[in-house]
Amino acid sequence: MTAQQRFTLTRADARRLLVRYHFQQAPLATIVRRLGTIQFDPLAPVGTNPDLVLQARVPGYRRGDWLHAAYRQRLLVDGWDKQASLIQPEEWWAQVPFHRWFTRRWRNHGVDVDSPEAHALIDQVERHGPATSLELGDQRADPALRGSWYGPKRSRHLLKALWDAGRLMTHHRVGGRHAYDLPERVLPQGTSVPDATQDDALQRLVIRRVQAAGLLRPTADAAVWLLPCPRAERDRIAARAIAQGALIELDVEGTGYWTTPAALSALEEGHDPAGSKALGIRFVAPLDPLMWDRGGVARLFGFDYVWEVYKPEAQRRWGYYVLPVLWGERLIARFDAKCQQGTLTLLAWHWEPDILPARLPEGLPEALQQAARDFLDYLGATRIVLPRGLGREARRAWQRAVK
């Protein structure tokens, strides 16, 4: 493969690449290395986003296993990518451009991470050890901060700024709250790359974004490509990576994509007679990296996905926390669900228009039963409540999964 080689794929090839790259099952540590980053979101009607991303890829994964992987094994640490994310600790060095970007941003909002107040907070963490915002700094409310995203306590804003700037890290979580500590007490030894330049760090961030997605359009929405640099700078860094062979340009029926050598190699693997249907059914997280570029998903899979969690209830078409359903190389359905006290409630199930609930395609009921059983095991659920619209065969598949 030459550094400047440009590949042409059909949409079918691109779908096959994505499905094989993302959903070949492997141990958790392998999936962490494969993706490089997993977006964090605290909403958890059927587990958090890291839970859902991992349950679709890791055999035997159980809700909450990521906490042990992050805060005991240190396979992951809290950081920033396109949003709050879990990243590999050995890539902490590449966060420096984000740290500098956030430092400037907070300073423009009147919060200085180099102020005496900030240094006093860091000193307190050094003396106290891992602690949450309830134990650090001045606990008094600032009337000027009432109604702000981070609450009315100035110390909480400063702690968040110090975290964003890389001066503090998450040692563990207490009921969802960050327990802050010094980076040198969180990171395993050997995670620094002292000779890395700003371009080296930016290049790793660009490659990691593509690595997580598998295929990513350079023209994807700004939210997908949030980086601590302008888009022109990103393009220069991407060209550098392409010249080195770390990124590959693809043309998929007239649309440009970037991918990585590891993702492209997925097309050369797994030539089994059953094709990607041998991977079964996967319930996909709303913020799964496969779903980040929703315009790309619509082009490749013909699946129009909108996450409606922040829409008013009356404006939702599909539901609050809706998971796409992947069967082989097709997204065939979506469902809204919640799990409480051992009961999984499917609030709604929507088949794609060409899937007839009364007559499911051959092999689909069996694949759904296995996926449902795995999902119930992941959640630790022993009871289900099913909605209308499933159809008789799908309803039986879910019911048999419980038995």
pLDDT in tens, 77-127: 999 999 999 999 999 999 999 999 999 999 998 999 999 999 999 999 999
Position 149 scores a pLDDT of: 59
Identify the domain boundary among 275, 294, 322.
Answer: 275
Task: Establish if 69 belongs to a structural domain.
Answer: yes
Do 11 and 112 belong together in one domain?
yes
Block residue for tokens 């809700």: 63
286 part of a folded domain:
no
| Radius of gyration of the CA atoms of the chain, in A | 22
Buried b / exposed e along 38-73 (16+ C-beta atoms within 10 A): bbbbeebbbbbbbbbbbbbbbeebbbebbeebbbee
Judge whether 253 lies within some domain. Answer: yes
pLDDT at 138: 77
Count other C-beta atoms under 10 Å from residue 270's C-beta: 15
Does 320 lie in the same domain as 230?
Answer: no
Predicted pLDDT at 195: 84
Structural domain includes residue 285: no
**Position 179 in a domain:** yes
The predicted-structure confidence for 161-182, as pLDDT tens digits, reads as follows 999 999 999 999 998 899 999 9
Please indicate, yes or no, if residue 283 is contained in any of the structural domains. Answer: no
* Domain end call among 224, 254, 275: 275
Q: Count of domains in the chain?
A: 2
**Would residue 123 count as lying in a domain?**
yes
pLDDT of residue 275: 52
pLDDT at 1: 42
Say what the pLDDT of residue 93 is: 95
d(CA 90, CA 110): 32
Looking at the fold, whether 157 and 68 belong to one and the same domain comes out as yes
Whether residues 314 and 257 share a domain: the answer is no
Residue ranges in the chain modelled with pLDDT below 50: 1-3, 273-274
Q: What is the rounded distance in angstroms from the CA atom of residue 337 to the CA atom of residue 55?
A: 16
Report pLDDT for 2: 45
Q: Model pTM greater than 0.75?
A: yes
**What range defines the domain where residue 44 resides?**
1-275
